[in-house]
Amino acid sequence: MKTKTETLKPVAAKPGSPEYALKVSEMRYRRLFETAQDGILILNAENGEIDDVNPFLTDMLGYSREQLLGNKLWEIGPFKDVEASKAEFRELQRKAYVRYEDLPLETSAGKAINVEFVSNIYRVNGDRVVQCNIRDITKRRRAEEKLKDYSRKLQVLSRRLVEAQETERQTIARELHDEIGQALTVIQLNLQALLQSTAVKNDLTPRLQESLGMVDQVLEQVRDISLNLRPLILDDLGLEPALRWLTKRQAALVGLQARFHAEPLKHRLNRVVETECFRVAQEALTNVVRHARAKSVHVDLRKVGTELHLRVRDDGVGYDVGGVREEAVRGASLGLLSMDERAALAGGGVEFKSVRGKGTEVHAWFPLKWRTAAETKPT
> What's the pLDDT band for 174 if we cut at 50, 70, 90?
confident
For position 248, which CATH number holds?
3.30.565.10
Given this model, what pLDDT does residue 13 score?
61
> What's the pLDDT band for 2 if we cut at 50, 70, 90?
very low
Name the domain boundary from 136, 161, 192.
136
* Domain co-membership, 361 together with 314: yes
Q: Is residue 13 part of a domain?
A: no
Number of residues that make up the chain: 379
User: Residue 114 — left, alpha, or beta (φ > 0 → left; ψ -120 to 50 → alpha)?
Assistant: beta
For the full predicted model, state whether its pTM sits above 0.85: no
Range of the domain at 58: 18-136
Supply the mean pLDDT for the chain. Answer: 87
Task: Write out pLDDT tens, residues 285-333.
Answer: 999 999 999 999 999 999 999 999 999 999 999 999 888 888 877 766 6
As a whole number of angstroms, the distance between CA 365 and CA 273 comes to 10
* Domain co-membership, 220 together with 245: no
> What's the pLDDT band for 376 if we cut at 50, 70, 90?
low
Given this model, what pLDDT does residue 200 score?
65
Given this model, what pLDDT does residue 12 score?
57
> What's the pLDDT band for 3 if we cut at 50, 70, 90?
very low
As a whole number of angstroms, the distance between CA 3 and CA 64 comes to 47
* Domain co-membership, 378 together with 247: yes
Name the domain boundary from 230, 254, 275.
230
For position 29, which CATH number holds?
3.30.450.20
Mean pLDDT for 81-97 is 86
Q: Give 299-352 as a DSSP string.
A: EEEEEETTEEEEEEEE-S----HHHHHHHHHTTS--HHHHHHHHHHHTT-EEEE
Given this model, what pLDDT does residue 234 score?
93
Indicate if the pLDDT at residue 6 is higher than 90: no
Q: Is residue 4 part of a domain?
A: no
Lowest mean pLDDT among 10-14, 21-25, 82-86, 301-305: 10-14
Q: Is residue 270 part of a domain?
A: yes
* Domain co-membership, 214 together with 294: no
As a whole number of angstroms, the distance between CA 90 and CA 37 comes to 28
The fraction of the chain above a pLDDT of 90, given in percent, is: 45
Indicate if the pLDDT at residue 96 is higher than 50: yes
> What's the pLDDT band for 53 if we cut at 50, 70, 90?
very high
Name the domain boundary from 100, 116, 136.
136
What is the SS3 assignment for 208? helix
As a whole number of angstroms, the distance between CA 219 and CA 181 comes to 6
The fraction of the chain above a pLDDT of 70, given in percent, is: 92
Q: For the chain, how many structural domains are there in total?
A: 3
Task: Write out pLDDT tens, residues 226-268.
Answer: 888 889 899 999 999 999 999 999 999 999 999 999 998 888 9
* Domain co-membership, 107 together with 119: yes
Q: Is the dihedral of CA 211, 216, 217, 219 positive or negative?
A: positive
Given this model, what pLDDT does residue 74 score?
86
> What's the pLDDT band for 343 if we cut at 50, 70, 90?
very high
Q: Is residue 11 part of a domain?
A: no
* Domain co-membership, 155 together with 102: no
